[in-house]
Structure 1
């Protein structure tokens, strides 16, 4: 039950944003143990002055095509699942969007099931 906030700088085409979204979901299903129907994403496209990042911090250099994926996960994943997810996302986005791996930053945050209410004011429980 992840929720992902995808943040990019203005200028991405709708088709490229759809590819980004679809690729993310495909990898989460394949590597992060997410059910196929569990897809919750928000895509933010921000003006340059509203998307501030260091172009070189712990990176080979970020461009204007920098992508930030903030994945809020509702259950723990192993270190290996996270490692493979990072790698697969980087590889597939490079293949499909020609996204330089230095332009991809991924943050995974974990919550507990009781931190979610999917609808009806009811607390989710496993």
Structure 2
């Protein structure tokens, strides 16, 4: 049930973008109890004029390799599960495609189960 949106600057290869999606999905499967096949992910690429970020916000040094990951999911997981997810995403994206931990920004948006329809106009969880 997670819906994942990834934002980054234009110019990365198809393999790089696929590695991001694969890594985030693997992290969700391993650390966030996401079932196999629950795969709804988007990548949005931006021109530099449409992609602004705090280069040193909270003392974290970011650069133009910043990847912003927003995951919308049910509000059913513990704080420990959320922290494990963040750590696993950073670990896997550090391995492939080689993103520095400082350049991985993650935002988790939690919603009620009845806020989903996976098709046919039915609230499958509600």
For the superposition of Structure 1 and Structure 2, which TM-score range results when normalised by the shorter chain?
over 0.9
Aligned residue for 1:58, secondary structure, equals: helix
Query: 1:1-126 maps to which residues of 2 (within 5 A)?
Result: 1-125=1-125
| C-alpha distance after superposition, 1:12-33 (max 9, x if no partner) | 1000100110010001011100
The count of residues paired between Structure 1 and Structure 2 equals 126
Distance in 1 between residues matched to 2:65 and 2:101, nearest whole Å: 11
Deviation at 1:113, TM superposition (A): 1.2
Distance in 1 between residues matched to 2:30 and 2:100, nearest whole Å: 22
Deviation at 1:11, TM superposition (A): 1.2
Aligned residue for 2:96, secondary structure, equals: helix
Q: Where does structure 2 lack aligned partners over 5 or more consecutive residues?
A: none
TM-score by length of 1: 0.95
Deviation at 1:75, TM superposition (A): 3.6
Work out whether residues 59 and 102 of structure 1, in 8 Å CA contact, stay in contact via their aligned partners in 2.
no
Distance in 2 between residues matched to 1:58 and 1:14, nearest whole Å: 31
Distance in 2 between residues matched to 1:98 and 1:40, nearest whole Å: 23
Q: Where does structure 1 lack aligned partners over 5 or more consecutive residues?
A: none
Query: Which runs of at least 4 in structure 1 moved beyond 2 Å after TM superposition?
Result: none
TM-score by length of 2: 0.95
Moved more, 97-106 or 55-64: 55-64
